[in-house]
C-alpha cells in the first residue's frame, strides 16, 4: 500500500472516531499521565476466531477472520477495505 493510501485510510478512520482537528489535521497523541511507558501489556480482550466476523451496521463495515491467518475489513458503503495476510496485504 502506498503512503497516500495509508494516509487516506488513517484520515478516514480518525474522522469517524473524531480525532481530527477543525482544519483536518490529526491530533498529536499524548501519553496518558497515569499509564506507564514502555511496551503495551498483553490484552485480555476477546479476539475473532477463524470464521467469525464483526459488523458495524451503522457504517456497513465488516471485519472478518478467515483461514490462513487472513484478516479483512470491508466498507460496503464505499466499496473499499483492506486485507492482512502472511502472504501479503493489500487495500481495495
Query: What are the cell numbers at 21?
Result: 482537528
Backbone torsions φ then ψ of 16, nearest 5 degrees: -65, -35
Q: Per-residue pLDDT tens, the chain, 92 aa: give them.
A: 455 655 665 555 555 545 445 455 544 556 666 666 677 777 787 888 899 999 988 889 999 999 888 899 999 888 899 999 888 888 88
Question: Are 51 and 81 in the same domain?
Answer: yes
Question: Are 54 and 89 in the same domain?
Answer: yes
- What's the pLDDT at 44? 81
Rounded Cα gap, residues 88 and 91, in angstroms: 11
pTM: 0.51
Question: Are 14 and 53 in the same domain?
Answer: no
Question: Are 50 and 84 in the same domain?
Answer: yes
- What's the pLDDT at 79? 87
Judge contact between 61 and 53, C-beta under 8 A: no
Question: Are 57 and 91 in the same domain?
Answer: yes
Domain carrying residue 2: 1-27
Question: Are 59 and 18 in the same domain?
Answer: no
Amino acid at each position: 500500500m502506498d503512503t497516500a493510501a495509508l494516509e487516506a485510510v488513517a484520515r478516514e478512520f480518525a474522522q469517524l472516531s473524531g480525532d481530527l482537528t477543525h482544519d483536518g489535521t490529526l491530533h498529536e497523541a499524548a501519553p496518558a499521565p497515569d499509564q506507564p511507558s514502555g511496551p503495551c501489556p498483553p490484552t485480555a480482550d476477546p479476539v475473532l476466531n477463524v470464521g467469525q466476523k464483526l459488523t458495524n451496521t451503522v457504517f456497513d463495515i465488516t471485519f472478518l477472520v478467515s483461514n490462513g491467518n487472513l484478516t479483512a475489513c470491508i466498507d460496503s458503503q464505499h466499496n473499499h477495505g483492506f486485507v492482512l495476510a502472511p502472504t501479503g496485504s493489500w487495500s481495495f
